[in-house]
Structure 1
Amino acid sequence: MGISPYYILLLIPILSAFLLLLLSLIARPRPSRIPIKGRHVFITGGASGIGLAIAHQAAAEGARVSILARNPKRLGEAREAVRLATGVEINVFSADVRDAKAVSRAVEEAGPIDVLVCNQGVFMPLELEKQELEEVKFMVDVNLMGTFHLIKAALPTMKRRTRETGLPASIALMSSQAGQVGIYGYAAYSASKFALRGLSEALQHEVIADNIYVSLIFPPDTETPGFVEGEQERRPELTNIIAGSSKGMKADDVAKASLNGIKSGRFIIPCNFEGTMIAIATCGLSPQSSFITAFIEVAGASFLRLTALFFQWNWFCTIEKWQKTKNSSKLKENTY
């Protein structure tokens, strides 16, 4: 005798309830709210784009905001823009995140930080074979090493701050959906952004005892000056074909999703529906404080893995078709 479909249907909610109970006991780190009103939010890459949008929103919510960037003129313009929009004066600091000493001086001058947002980033899309190693090094130095410099400079006082106030703090790292999925033409950039995940996962283990929560933000293509001036103009044709189907976001919307995720103490912060699906598909061994999200990850992992394989199949077919067209064009040119 087989098992009755009635009993199978009855088992599904029972097993789901048991799994939810289990996940509520084992999900770590424990959920926490990170208050920002009246606290010091320090944002790098804050003179434009997502960083400036986060500065606007944090200032509007009553945070004491500091921004860091390289260009003094843009910093002045950003400070004035925030003042006009919110009536709040923010502090600005000019430094290159590749310079550990300059970063340390800026952080010391700014004072103890409660929420550190490592938002700086550069992107130069190109096939690795064609890309100069100086460009590769530049991206790694800004996107990855710059983040190390910031965390090293800010962490000692952040730890003292949490002990003194009893309030949780946050370190947020701005990655990219290209830090979850590798795409043609993104080899160097993806390497620098994928590395932030390893840094974040290990760092969360190291600082949770100090009541510091790490967040890793994965925005899609975002309408920022850097995207328009750099990424879109330089992206290889095949990259545009593969990545062109993904919908971009406005900087304000990314900033809102980022700040809400930071305040919720979430480790992984996707910024749209597509990002949420990618986050579930790539969750792996990442920390997860929400047992509801953990349940969705467990339940959806197999289906989303299958979906991911279809995406990869489509991308490889696109590459194969593009290469055939390119080779055919070269053959015709040589014939004539």
Structure 2
Amino acid sequence: MASSLYFLLLLFVFPFAALLLALAVLVRPRPERIPLKGRHVLVSGGSSGIGLALARRAAAEGARVSILARDRSRLSDARETIRLATGVDASVIAVDVRDAEGVARALEALDPVDVLICNQGVFVPQELDLQSLDEVRFMVDVNLMGTFHLIKAALPAMKKRARETGIPASIALMSSQAGQVGVYGYTAYSASKFALRGLAEALQHEVVADNIHVTLIFPPDTETPGLAEELKRRPEVTNKIAASSGGMKADKVAQIALNGIKSALFVVPCNLEGVMLCIATAGMSPQPSIFMAFREVLGASLMRLVGLCFQWSWFGVIKKWHTEKGM
């Protein structure tokens, strides 16, 4: 009897143990720790919301913090908030991320960046056929091109510093759960955020030899000034679809994001739905975590089924809304 139980246990455990062993060999890039104490952390969109919460937490861990945004007055207020909370005087950079030359000049005046957090973002929700192309360009220019401008300006000095010190550096991109799945009313926004994934995957290949790790963060709706503005314009159908999703506090998202950055994770979900989306959309992404890779391999088929259930529900909401409106 005991031998039979032992055999059954071995039969059950062995495949999982073998998979874990295989993943320990396969995962790339290799797991790392990104230290913050005494290092230069630059946060774009750092004057409010998630960006300010990230800057405050990094300062509390002993980092030298710089915050970048357009509004000098809001930057000054954010700097005072960080100083009162941590005793750290953050550097402030007032520049529009859409201005490539302005961003380059601003970063040239700073010490080399060790951890670059591209957190800036704008969102104007609306159906594409009703939305102006100026608003579409605005989102693409800030969310996508602004990220290119920041990385291009920071990368040469980051590479040199990482090589000289031997200490790993980080580039983190703030995407969105709308950068994992398209939703009604988010056509332009989702396009700008989906693009960050391609940027991140290719960039990780290009900088891995320089000891730089790329992190892609996927927050859900987060209680920020930006969300308050978004809700004023969000289409009715979008509100119905989003009603089942819970929001998060900016500080909680910042805590999860910063932990992911320090662990050099490639993808960082922020809640249970985010974990499910990361499993469902893992695809060909790098994965430095053995246990996250294990979860992705085992959960991919199930999460595809769950995803189809969500799509069934969302299409039902859309059909019902159009029927009620007589469209």
Q: Same fold (TM over 0.5)?
A: yes
Q: Does 1:151 align with 2:151?
A: yes
Shift of 1:6: 9.4
RMSD of aligned Cα (Å): 1.3
What is the match of residue 37 of structure 2? 37
In structure 1, stretches of 5+ residues that fail to align are: 331-336
Shift of 1:11: 2.5
Q: Does 1:128 align with 2:128?
A: yes
What TM-score do you get using the length of structure 2 for normalisation?
0.97
Partner Cα distance (1:206, 1:10) in 2: 42
In structure 2, stretches of 5+ residues that fail to align are: none
How many pairs does the alignment contain?
Answer: 324
Shift of 1:52: 0.3
* Residue deviations 1:171-212 (CA, integer Å, cap 9, x gap): 000000000010000000000000000000000000000000
What is the match of residue 333 of structure 1? none
Say which SS state the counterpart of residue 79 (structure 1) adopts. helix
Alignment of 1:4-43 (within 5 A): 10-43=10-43
What is the match of residue 232 of structure 2? 233
Partner Cα distance (1:309, 1:6) in 2: 39
What is the match of residue 215 of structure 2? 215
Partner Cα distance (1:8, 1:312) in 2: 39
Partner Cα distance (1:253, 1:227) in 2: 16
What TM-score do you get using the length of structure 1 for normalisation?
0.94
What is the match of residue 255 of structure 1? 254
Shift of 1:163: 1.1
Comparing 86-95 with 269-278, which one deviates more in the overlay?
269-278
Say which SS state the counterpart of residue 265 (structure 2) adopts. coil
Partner Cα distance (1:251, 1:61) in 2: 18
Runs of 4+ aligned residues of structure 1 deviating over 3 Å after TM superposition are 4-10
Say which SS state the counterpart of residue 287 (structure 1) adopts. coil
Say which SS state the counterpart of residue 130 (structure 2) adopts. coil
Shift of 1:272: 1.3
Partner Cα distance (2:118, 2:271) in 1: 20
Say which SS state the counterpart of residue 93 (structure 1) adopts. strand
What is the match of residue 85 of structure 2? 85
Shift of 1:5: 11
* Residue deviations 1:217-245 (CA, integer Å, cap 9, x gap): 000000001111x2111100000000121
What is the match of residue 283 of structure 1? 282
What is the match of residue 317 of structure 2? 318
Q: Counterpart amino acid of 2:311?
A: Q
Q: Does 1:48 align with 2:48?
A: yes
Partner Cα distance (1:42, 1:72) in 2: 16
Say which SS state the counterpart of residue 172 (structure 1) adopts. strand
Q: Counterpart amino acid of 1:322?
A: W
What is the match of residue 300 of structure 2? 301
Partner Cα distance (1:244, 1:104) in 2: 41
Percent identity between the two aligned chains: 68
What is the match of residue 58 of structure 2? 58
Say which SS state the counterpart of residue 66 (structure 2) adopts. strand
Partner Cα distance (2:127, 2:210) in 1: 42
* Residue deviations 1:50-96 (CA, integer Å, cap 9, x gap): 00000100000000000000000001000111111111101001000
Shift of 1:111: 1.6
* Residue deviations 1:140-199 (CA, integer Å, cap 9, x gap): 000000000000000000000011111000000000000001000000000000000000
What is the match of residue 166 of structure 2? 166
Shift of 1:49: 0.4
Shift of 1:298: 0.5
Partner Cα distance (1:8, 1:177) in 2: 41
Give the structure with higher Rg (CA). 1
Q: Counterpart amino acid of 1:214?
A: V
Q: Counterpart amino acid of 1:180?
A: Q
Q: Counterpart amino acid of 2:19?
A: L
* Residue deviations 1:299-329 (CA, integer Å, cap 9, x gap): 11111110110000000111111111111xx
Say which SS state the counterpart of residue 110 (structure 1) adopts. coil
Q: Counterpart amino acid of 1:33?
A: R
Say which SS state the counterpart of residue 129 (structure 2) adopts. coil
Say which SS state the counterpart of residue 318 (structure 1) adopts. helix
Partner Cα distance (1:217, 1:110) in 2: 25
Shift of 1:9: 6.1
Say which SS state the counterpart of residue 29 (structure 1) adopts. coil
Say which SS state the counterpart of residue 216 (structure 2) adopts. strand
Q: Counterpart amino acid of 1:144?
A: L
What is the match of residue 142 of structure 1? 142
Q: Counterpart amino acid of 1:288?
A: Q
